[in-house]
Amino acid sequence: MTATPTETPNFWRDSHPNAFLSGLIAIIIGWAGPNVLIYSVQQASGLSDAHAMSWLWAHAIFTGLAGIYLSLRTRMPILSTWSTPGIALLVTAIPGLPFSQAVGAFVLSAVLVFLLGTFTPLTRLVQAIPLHLAAALNAAILLPFGFKAMTALTQQPVLVGLMVAAYFVVRQIDSRWAVAGVLGVGVAASAALGLWHPAHVPVALTVPQFVRPEFSLQASLNIALPLTLLAFTGQFVPGFGVLKVNGYEPAPAPILKTCGVASLGAAFVGCHNLTLGALLANIVSGPDAHPDAGKRYTAAVWAGIINIIFGLFAGTFLHLMGILPAQALAALAGLALLAATGGSLQTALQTHPGSLAAPTVILVTLSGITPFGIGAAFWGMLAGLAVHAVERWKVKKKPASQVEITRHPPQAGSTEHLAAKAVPHAGSAKSSPPLASPTSTLE
């Protein structure tokens, strides 16, 4: 979907109830999951409540604006979010450092992300990733959501069992409403089982806190550079992979530049760099978001609008996330991403049978290794590309007749088997006319 659209987009005409629902679910899962990591940073660094809420406010407002702008501009479902690996880094990097110096590192990282968007060889490298390896990386990112859903099933078998049953029953009727059915059953079952405990939730606008940045060598080396690397390897690379798997290939440069500008604005109110969504992007870019792939951008726009509303009431909505039990949220996430997980696994493993590149990506990424502080997603893709290169080199080194026999090994005793035995190897004294070189399944 790289072609420029010929008709003028009309958000309201193109939208669909499922697009709104997908955007809502993506943001709910985001606020119930990665966003609560801010409390880990707060507890580790002694950050004030006001600054923690400002951090969340900046994240929601600026990612919402960036996602809306990019989705409307490209007519592709582009979701912006903060760097989840980045905030995990900050849990250990910020303690002992003045928050103003951390903000200075946020500013520097934002500038670096913008500059990455102007470096053409880097953007070309992202676009050159083979589709089946991008699918493998996407599958490895999504599988843990399914694992967590199964863990939730053992913890709350009745609640999660009803949600799973609702998903498959509704999916047989109309797959577009399967996730909506899961959400409805989850809320009703939680209330009926006494697992939903509504409490008084204060409704108040969150006030952003401006922080004057200070720049130091220590913060630049310990925060700015690792943040930038984690943003690229842990968010942008898998994020572009998610879009590619779902049929979208936007130009990387405008996205990097837009995220860099949004990150710069967010940094001055205490938020680290904003990136391309990866984990949640499947919800707004997959088939359940809209029956028309060309109109799924509306799901990402709805996600941006809802995220901005959540951000305006950051404190309020954080309290709301505690109403549903954690098991219901885990099941909702796993089931909402089940179709995307299956599609990614099929693309990764069926398009290149016999290749070990995609399984390598999945295994290394799922391992969670972090050599040199770099996330497993990067190492998984690097390992997969290395295996892919070796396999392609090996195929090119084989004579055409050997590749043909290797690709389609005939059964013993068959006509093909007898014919294959009669094909002489290259360099034989009695050689037949050369066979046409087939296209290898590893290419």
Q: Which of 116-120, 387-391, 439-443 shows the lowest per-residue confidence on average (mean pLDDT)?
A: 439-443
Asked if 325 and 245 sit in the same domain, the reply is yes
Task: Report the alpha-carbon distance of residue 315 to residue 435 in Å, rounded.
Answer: 70
Q: Please give the share of the chain, as a percent, with pLDDT higher than 70.
A: 81
Asked if 373 and 397 sit in the same domain, the reply is yes
Three state DSSP letters for 12-81:
HHHCCHHHHHHHHHHHHHHHHCHHHHHHHHHHHHCCCHHHHHHHHHHHHHHHHHHHHHHHHHHCCCCCEE
Let me know if residue 382 belongs to a domain: yes
Task: Report the alpha-carbon distance of residue 423 to residue 437 in Å, rounded.
Answer: 14
- Say yes or no to pLDDT of 363 above 90: yes
Sign of CA dihedral 407, 409, 414, 415: positive
pLDDT score of 378: 79
Instruction: State the average pLDDT over residues 341-351.
Output: 86
Asked if 35 and 160 sit in the same domain, the reply is yes
Task: Report the alpha-carbon distance of residue 27 to residue 201 in Å, rounded.
Answer: 19
Q: Which residues of 28-43 are buried (b: 16+ CB within 10 A; e: fewer)?
A: bbbbbbbbebbeebbe
Asked if 385 and 287 sit in the same domain, the reply is no
pLDDT score of 126: 63
Asked if 356 and 335 sit in the same domain, the reply is no
Q: Which domain holds residue 41?
A: 11-339
Beta carbons within 8 Å of 204's beta carbon, 6+ residues apart: 313, 315, 316
Asked if 234 and 262 sit in the same domain, the reply is yes
Instruction: State the average pLDDT over residues 159-177.
Output: 89
Instruction: Give per-residue pLDDT as tens, 290-311.
Output: 888 889 999 999 999 999 999 9
pLDDT score of 281: 86
What are the structure tokens assigned to 185, written together?
């059953």
Asked if 59 and 116 sit in the same domain, the reply is yes
Asked if 243 and 381 sit in the same domain, the reply is no
Show which of 339, 364, 396 is a domain's final residue.
339
Let me know if residue 226 belongs to a domain: yes
- Say yes or no to pLDDT of 425 above 80: no
Average pLDDT, the chain: 80
Instruction: State the average pLDDT over residues 315-335.
Output: 78
Instruction: Give per-residue pLDDT as tens, 171-180.
Output: 898 776 787 7
Q: How confident is the model at residue 438 (pLDDT cuts 50, 70, 90)?
A: very low
Q: How confident is the model at residue 320 (pLDDT cuts 50, 70, 90)?
A: low
Asked if 118 and 199 sit in the same domain, the reply is yes
pLDDT score of 178: 81
Q: How confident is the model at residue 399 (pLDDT cuts 50, 70, 90)?
A: low
Helix axes 338-350, 237-245, angle to 10 degrees: 90
Three state DSSP letters for 169-232:
HHHHHCHHHHHHHHHHHHHHHHHHCCCCCCCCCCCCCCCCCCCCCCCCHHHHHHHHHHHHHHHH
